[in-house]
Amino acid sequence: MKTTILMLCLLIAFNSIAQSDNHTDSLNLKTVDDLAFMKGTWKGDGWIMMNRERKEFTQTETIDSRVDNTILVIDGIGIAKDSSAVEPKVVHNAFGVISYNETLKSITMLSFSSTGGKMENEMRLIGDMKLEWSFKDERGGTVRFREDFSENGLWIEKGDYSFDGNQWFPFFEMRLERQDDKW
């Protein structure tokens, strides 16, 4: 009898662990179908803290799916608002690929930028049409970005920095509007 109860408890525990593992995957999918809300051309304004000074910019992001809808490609460019130069001053130039990473069993974004080089970060779904991704910087702190697409036709992204993972300081925000109806 004790053996039967023990086996039953182990079976229930194993089943609970197996089920919870399925829910710990970032988005628990092998295609980017659940991120279709990101697709489209987006334009708007934002600001970033650079050398303790707030810089404002105009941002354009284009997101589309490729390779039988297994990846999303993101192309973004930001132009300084205070640029009085003949040629627009590019303050942000980046390209990204969002895909399912089989090794990590999660969605990741491989990004390339003119200022930050190349990095791959895990993306997490933190709410309905809300994403988060982060990375450690060279000072040992954490840079975190949260993207909110939950309001129809609006993309709000905020960047925060933390030295200790507890107290967060905003350094970036952009508010973009959808320019097309791809989604």
Could you read off the pLDDT of 128-140 as tens digits, one per residue? 999 999 999 888 9
| C-alpha dihedral (29, 34, 40, 45), degrees to nearest 10 | -100
Q: 60: domain range?
A: 29-178
Whether residue 3 is contained in a domain is answered as no
The domain tally of the chain equals 1
Whether residue 12 is contained in a domain is answered as no
To the question of pTM greater than 0.85 for the whole model, the response is no
Whether residue 6 is contained in a domain is answered as no
pLDDT attached to residue 84: 65
Whether residue 1 is contained in a domain is answered as no
Please report, for the domain that includes residue 147, its CATH number.
2.40.128.20
Whether residue 42 is contained in a domain is answered as yes
pLDDT attached to residue 29: 52
Whether residue 108 is contained in a domain is answered as yes
Whether residue 21 is contained in a domain is answered as no
Among 23-32, 99-108, 137-146, the least confident range: 23-32
Could you read off the pLDDT of 4-24 as tens digits, one per residue? 333 333 333 333 333 334 333
Whether residue 114 is contained in a domain is answered as yes
pLDDT attached to residue 21: 42
